[in-house]
Amino acid sequence: MSDDQVTLRSVAAPVYLPSLLYGIGQGAIVPIIALSARDLGASIGLASLVVGLVGLGQIVGDIPAGALAARVGERRAMLAATVLAAAALLVCILATTIWMLGIAILATGFAGSVWGLARQAYLTELVPYQLRARALSTLGGAQRIGMFIGPFLGALAAHYWHTDGPYALHLVTAIVAAGVLFVLADPTKRDQQRRATNEAPKGTVQIAKQQFAVLRTLGVGALLIGAIRASRQVVIPLWADQIGLDPAAVSIIFGISAAVDMLMFYPAGKVMDRVGRAWVAVPSMLILGIAHLVLPLTHTPATLAAVAVVMGFGNGIGSGLIMTMGADLSPPEARTEFLGVWRLFSDLGNGAGPLLIAGITGLSALGPAVLVMGVIGLGGAAVLGRWIPRHIPSPKS
């Protein structure tokens, strides 16, 4: 398929449908992991650690995912990741000890990293530059929708099969997603070029050295984006608990915020394609930063809900931002290797944000921790505003 024939509709079935299905499975197991660990005798702290292994698996998997996709192609990498995910989910169902469950959860994070990177690389190669941001923001939107739907379907599965149900649901959605991928997806142009020229993949360390100037500037920006986004998911429920809201109210507030988040993915991509990446990146970080600074001033459900909606809007207009920036900056001759390193920065931010909140809260209180994250958001806006190129030429220009 030539560039001028590629539309969002033409890639909906081979790209967005598998991502949606896989995201539903991921969303289904997220709320159940801690309960599974508790059923096996874990303490609250140990159960939290098991939940965190999903993110650790993503971090561990980023660079190997790039190397794997570069060596065997994006499509084969995703199929291999599905095999790993299926095996891990079976272990989750059959686990009799904490360490068995922990290793399996770590593997699901690793497999998710491969899926995310391969989808990003596939679209980067397939979609013309003038449609890139919309294509990648829609990919981010599909993942968000899947993660939103997943817990509800997981709850239904858990009603019938307790904690095994959501894992079985993820197993089914992963296999169906791989089936759709196998039947409908074509190899990327990059795969075709490598087969035709026998081009060897570049080394990840070599690429990181070559792209050091980008990684020390915009890579740090991606890390800050990851941190402020992850912070949002932590500070809202913690602050709600601090002002005395019950879990049902927190769930409603979070659901409304997530709905606003999901609605913004296509407008965000359109703005990035039409006027530039910075016009989304800087406002997104400013809104998230200011919302964090305002959060400690909320003392009622209504005011907290208002701030949560603003955070959802700020996060939503950044849908696909990190993927688009990575696609723009990735060298065509070593795209997947670069994207592996790029995603590592973002995932490190995702892990560092909650850890920083925990550390500051342990030393002081939640309020100062939220304020620090707000300052980080404003700092991220400054970094992105300074370093995002005002125009990144199309590969054809």
So where are the chain's domains? 7-187, 200-397
Which string of b and e fits 278-299 if b means at least 16 CB within 10 Å?
A: bbbbbbbbbbbbbbbbbbbebe
Question: In the CATH hierarchy, which fold is given to the domain comprising 200-397?
Answer: Growth Hormone; Chain: A; (1.20.1250)
- What number does CATH give the domain 7-187? 1.20.1250.20
Q: What is the pLDDT of residue 224?
A: 96
Q: What are phi and psi of 382, to 5 degrees?
A: -65, -45
Q: What is the pLDDT of residue 395?
A: 47
Please work out, in degrees rounded to the nearest 5, the angle formed at the alpha carbon of residue 123 by the alpha carbons of 122 and 126: 85
Distance CA 8, CA 55 (A): 30
Show pLDDT as tens, one digit a residue, over the chain (397 residues). 455 567 888 888 888 999 999 999 998 998 888 888 888 998 877 887 888 888 899 999 999 998 888 888 888 898 999 999 999 999 999 999 999 999 999 999 999 999 989 888 888 888 888 899 999 999 999 988 998 898 889 989 988 898 899 999 999 999 999 999 888 755 444 455 544 444 555 677 888 888 999 999 999 999 999 999 988 888 888 888 888 888 778 778 888 888 899 899 999 999 999 999 999 999 999 999 999 999 999 999 999 999 999 999 999 999 999 999 999 999 988 888 899 999 999 999 988 888 888 888 888 888 999 999 999 999 999 999 999 986 554 444 3
Q: Measuring CA to CA, which residue among 120, 105, 115 is closest to residue 57?
A: 105
Helix 335-363 and helix 220-242, axial crossing angle in degrees, nearest 10: 40
Decide if 7-187 and 200-397 have a common fold. Answer: yes
Contact present, 208 and 319 (Cβ < 8 Å): no
Indicate the length of the chain as a whole number: 397
Distance CA 27, CA 143 (A): 9
Distance CA 174, CA 158 (A): 18
Q: What is the pLDDT of residue 396?
A: 44
Q: What is the pLDDT of residue 221?
A: 95
